[in-house]
Amino acid sequence: MTTKPVISCRNVWKIFGAHPERYLAQMAEGKSFDQIREDGYIAGVKDVSLDVSKGEMLVIMGLSGSGKSTLVRCFSRLHEITGGSIEVDGQDIMSLTEKELIELRRNKMGMVFQSFGLLPHRTVLENVAFPLEMRGQDKHERRARALEVVKLVGLEGREDYFPRELSGGQQQRVGIARSLAIEPDIWFLDEPFSALDPLIRREMQDEFLRLQALLGKTIVFITHDFDEALRLADRIAIMKDGAVEQCDTPDQIVLRPATEYVRKFTEDIDKARVVHARVLATAETIGEGDPVDAKATVQDLARLLVQDTRDVIPVAKDGTVIGGMNRTEALEILLENG
């Protein structure tokens, strides 16, 4: 993942209040969230710098009010940022005119919302075709494309239903289909499954993974559910009070929390299910005998770790050994359950 980032943001600030620009300009360095609040302003996003690479799935995590939704709305310029810069495909989105911004959204971005954001007066098909209609595609073309996406999300036969006639899960499928209709490069999902009950949520996550395997989009996914984040993420960014506390792979976040807050956040996580063999492998000693797969989690290797007698177990990625895993270290992770 060393390609040029699709989204790149540097020192992004989003402050809410009476005169945010003026306030930010004269604000002293290093003010905390609470200090800013005492001045009558709310720091929705606080000095965030992040990159999202092509094809990557970045999950932004945090409790409600931590600024994750605000941040993602800055990426799509639904919010105007107060300071810093955001580039999408190398282009500074803050310098775009209204027309250019509309073009960008019409061709490159799709977004899924927590409470679906469907238009109540339009049928499933009309909702899905909405972005196509907005960019002026002709009726038959957009109908054909909409039917295709509706089929992709498994809502065939419901094209003529109205949103209120559908269940929550089905409504979100419409939301997903709509966001995919224009074949976006970048896909924003703002807590898409939070409004759904747990069983449906699981099903929708599977569905989402299937779609992602099929389409391979660049994704920014917001959730407050750590399990969901772990299931889906390439990288996780944990936010608190508008700032990103840590942005790293799930393994690193549970193994090496950057701050006290992140440590507390990950405390209850069953680390053995998150940490992969490849992360534990070091090149110093490779060890002997049969290697284990780099993509296996410590949990997967539990039996082997307990029964094996080697000190160092080789780890292989696609058949080639990339290093050795210290068995005691792995056992530690397996046994220290939060």
Partner 1 sequence: MAETTAQPELRTGQTLTRPRGALILVGVAIVLMLLQYAGLLPAALFRVPEAVVPNFAGWLDAIFNFVKDDLGLLKLTRFLTEILQAFLDTTANLLFGKRRWPSIGPIPWTAIAAVAGVIGYYLGGWTMALLAAGTFVWTALIGQWKIAMETMSVLVVAAPSAFLIGLGLGILAWRKPWVDAALKPILSVLQTLPFFTYLLPAVIFFKVGPTAGAVATTIYAIPPMILMTTLGLKKVSPEVVEAGNMSGCTRRQLLFHVYLPSARTEILVGVNQVIMLCLAMVVLTAFIGMPGLGAKLLAMMGSFKLGRSFEIGITIVLLAVMLDRMSKAWVVKQPEHFEKGTPWWKRHLTLCLAAGAFVFFVLVAQIIPEAGQLGRTQNFSMGKELDNLIKGFLDIGAVKATTGFLRAFVNVQILIPFRNFLLSIPTPALILLVAAFALWLGGRKQAIYATLFFSLVALSGWWDRSVITLYSVLSAVAIAMLLGLPIGIVAARTEKWSKRILLVCDTAQTFPSFVYLIPAIMLFGITDIAVIFSILIFAMVPLIRYTIEGLRTVPEEMTEAADMAGATRMQKLWKVQLPLALPTMAVGFNQAIMFAFFMVIIAAFIGTQDLGQELQRTLAGTDLGKNFVLGICVALMALTFDLTILKWANDQKKLLGLD
C-alpha span between 292 and 326 (Å, rounded): 12
Question: Does residue 4 touch partner 1 according to CB under 8 A?
Answer: no
Largest CA distance in the chain: 68
Distances (CA, A) of 228 to 87, 203, 212, 223: 28, 12, 15, 7
Backbone torsions φ then ψ of 249, nearest 5 degrees: -70, 155
> Among 25, 63, 134, 306, which residue sits at the site for partner 1 (rule: CB under 8 A)?
134
Nearer residue to partner 1 within complex by CB, 195 or 322: 195
Backbone torsions φ then ψ of 290, nearest 5 degrees: -70, 135
> Among 120, 198, 319, 338, which residue sits at the site for partner 1 (rule: CB under 8 A)?
120
Distances (CA, A) of 120 to 116, 164, 166: 11, 7, 11
C-alpha span between 55 and 43 (Å, rounded): 30
Nearer residue to partner 1 within complex by CB, 36 or 236: 36
Q: Which of 182, 183, 12, 188 is nearest to 87 (CA)?
A: 12
Nearer residue to partner 1 within complex by CB, 142 or 276: 142
C-alpha span between 80 and 181 (Å, rounded): 26
Backbone torsions φ then ψ of 337, nearest 5 degrees: -85, 125
- Structure tokens of 176? 């997903």
Nearer residue to partner 1 within complex by CB, 159 or 225: 159
Nearer residue to partner 1 within complex by CB, 17 or 117: 117
Nearer residue to partner 1 within complex by CB, 165 or 290: 165
Question: Does residue 115 touch partner 1 according to CB under 8 A?
Answer: yes
Question: Count of residues for the chain?
Answer: 338
Residues paired with 61 in a beta bridge? 223, 238
> Among 8, 70, 82, 114, which residue sits at the site for partner 1 (rule: CB under 8 A)?
114
> Among 70, 76, 82, 223, which residue sits at the site for partner 1 (rule: CB under 8 A)?
76
> Among 78, 144, 209, 215, which residue sits at the site for partner 1 (rule: CB under 8 A)?
78
Question: Does residue 105 touch partner 1 according to CB under 8 A?
Answer: yes
Task: Tell me the closest approach of the beta carbon of residue 147 to partner 1, in angstroms.
Answer: 12
Question: Does residue 170 touch partner 1 according to CB under 8 A?
Answer: no
> Among 46, 68, 145, 178, which residue sits at the site for partner 1 (rule: CB under 8 A)?
178
> Among 73, 201, 217, 327, which residue sits at the site for partner 1 (rule: CB under 8 A)?
73
Question: Does residue 165 touch partner 1 according to CB under 8 A?
Answer: yes
C-alpha span between 324 and 91 (Å, rounded): 43
Question: Does residue 110 touch partner 1 according to CB under 8 A?
Answer: yes
Q: Which of 255, 252, 316, 317 is nearest to 287 (CA)?
A: 316
Distances (CA, A) of 162 to 118, 128, 158, 184, 290: 10, 12, 9, 25, 58
Binding piece for partner 1, criterion CB under 8 A, among 138-146, 148-156, 175-183, 245-253: 175-183
Nearer residue to partner 1 within complex by CB, 140 or 164: 164
Question: Does residue 250 touch partner 1 according to CB under 8 A?
Answer: no
Question: Does residue 131 touch partner 1 according to CB under 8 A?
Answer: yes
Question: Does residue 317 touch partner 1 according to CB under 8 A?
Answer: no
Question: Does residue 156 touch partner 1 according to CB under 8 A?
Answer: no
> Among 66, 70, 171, 179, which residue sits at the site for partner 1 (rule: CB under 8 A)?
179
C-alpha span between 175 and 135 (Å, rounded): 18
Q: Which residues bind partner 1 (CB under 8 A)?
A: 73, 76, 78, 102-103, 105-107, 109-111, 113-123, 130-131, 133-135, 160-162, 164-165, 175, 178-179, 182, 188
